[in-house]
Amino acid sequence: MTAAGSRVVLVTGASTGIGHAAVAHLVRAGFRVWATVRQAADAERLRAEHPGKVRTLHMDLLDDDSVRAVGEEVCAAGALHSVVNNAGAALPGPLELLPVEVLRRQLDINLVGQLAVTQAVMPALWQAREAGDEPRIVMLGSIGGRIAGPVLGPYHAAKFGLVGLTDTLRAELAPFGIRVVLVEPGVIATPIWQRGLSSGDQLTAGLPTGLGRYGRQAESARASATRNARHGAAPELVARAITAAVTDRRPRPRVLVGRDAKVTAALVRMLPARLLYRVTAARR
């Protein structure tokens, strides 16, 4: 493998939270980093934090042209060691009342977008492979891709779908030496929780009769999101796992991050389906 200092990694959603922490860890590990953001101020801040080490790109996963432009610029620059598909969102709402366009938006951001970015930079990953490197594709999943509860149906649907997408991509690329890793964090203290609360408020405001019978479930989800934003694990915990996925000679295919994620995954494996349903079912 080539030296870390000569290798390049693309990190999407690098303005805050896990993506921001991942950029810092990868720079410290000796990589040069492409970092995608949506706001000019975030781009300026990242370049100031890592002078000469980070190049920023504007990208919105809902804008096909911006994804295509990122792919073209990255590929034109040469070989790419890894892509870290981190960008995402959480759009809550009870499924009975959820406008279908909200579900489409969630899937476009957290599932379709991950493949779109990967496809856009595949030529650069192949170039790295042909040069003798061992490229990596890292997908940011969630423990929410193993177990689902009320009100976060769109998010769970996208994360469960990401498991299947990642497993298929891993199987297809394994013969060619391109490794695919799914990182599955538990509760992490990032701005996604506050943004999710804002999205939930917008949904509720747009419903003629409000949340109706789902009001109590929504309040429970809101309280949980508030706790998570304050007391979740630090994003650096996930950033370390991402860096390991990029640097380890033989990275694990799926990486659980956080004690809560590991405990939950164990329960999912051990509990009978009926009991698991009783654990996750909402109470009125």
Per residue in 174-214, pLDDT tens? Answer: 999 999 999 999 999 988 877 877 887 888 888 877 888 88
Whether the pLDDT of residue 229 is over 80: the answer is no
For 61, 157, 160, 264, the CA distances from 274, given in Å and listed in that order, are: 37, 20, 19, 16
Q: What's the pLDDT score for residue 197?
A: 75
Q: Which residues contact 51 (CB under 8 A, 6 or more apart)?
A: none
2 pLDDT above the threshold of 90 = no
Q: Which of 90-99, 189-198, 244-253 has the highest mean pLDDT?
A: 244-253
Residue 257: which CATH number?
3.40.50.720
Instruction: Give the chain's domain count.
Output: 1
* pLDDT band per the 50, 70, 90 thresholds, residue 66: very high
- CA-to-CA separations, 259 to 70, 184, 233, in angstroms, rounded: 35, 11, 9
pLDDT above 90 as % of the chain: 78
Tokens standing for residue 178 = 């391109």
DSSP string, 229-262: HHHSBPHHHHHHHHHHHHH-SS--SEEEESHHHH
Rounded average pLDDT over 125-146:
97
Residue among 47, 49, 59 at smallest CA distance from 83: 59
Q: What is the mean pLDDT of residues 145-174?
A: 96
Which residue, 230, 195, 226, is CA-closest to 16?
A: 195
Which residues are tagged catalytic?
155
pLDDT > 70 fraction of the chain, expressed in percent and rounded: 98
pLDDT at 19 over 60: yes
Asked whether residue 231 carries a pLDDT value surpassing 90, the answer given is no
Query: Pick from 172, 170, 112: which is nearest to 138 by CA?
Result: 170
pLDDT at 284: 61
Distances (CA, A) of 212 to 149, 159, 194, 204, 208: 18, 27, 23, 10, 10
Residue from 216, 222, 168 nearest 196 by CA: 222
Mean pLDDT across the chain, nearest whole number? 93
8-state DSSP, 6? G
Average pLDDT over residues 129-142: 97
pLDDT recorded at residue 111:
98
Phi then psi for residue 282, to 5 deg, are -70, 155
Average pLDDT over residues 114-138: 98
CB 246 within 8 A of CB 10: no
Answer whether 1's CB lies under 8 Å from 247's CB: no
Of 40, 139, 32, 107, the residue nearest 77 (C-alpha): 32
Is residue 3's pLDDT more than 60? no
Domain that holds residue 19: 4-280
The pLDDT of 263-281, averaged and rounded, is 91
